[in-house]
A = this chain, B = another copy of it.
């Protein structure tokens, strides 16, 4: 089975990467870019029968820093 995990900085946490992208898009002439947030996507190729709870545990223990990041798990 495959799972996809999205990890994003929580709202209110400063995102310098996203801010740099927003600035660069403006410099390239793309108008109307009001905000950019950049996060991570992690695609996991797992043994069949792995539960979504196990993937959530992976997020809690390793994939996300839950102090400043939120995550979502999607089984593909």
What is the interface of chain A, defined by CB distance below 8 A to chain B?
A: 6, 8, 18, 21, 24-25, 28, 30-47, 50, 54, 57-58, 61-63
Which B-chain residue is minimally distant from A30 (CB atoms)?
A: B58
B37, B43, B46: the one within 8 Å of A32 (CB):
B46
B37 touches A38 (CB 8 A): no
- With A38-B41, A40-B41: A47-B21 Cβ-Cβ less than 8 Å: no
A-B contact sample (12 more), CB < 8 A, given A6-B41, A30-B57, A36-B42:
A8-B43, A21-B62, A25-B62, A28-B61, A32-B46, A33-B45, A34-B47, A35-B45, A36-B44, A38-B41, A39-B43, A40-B40
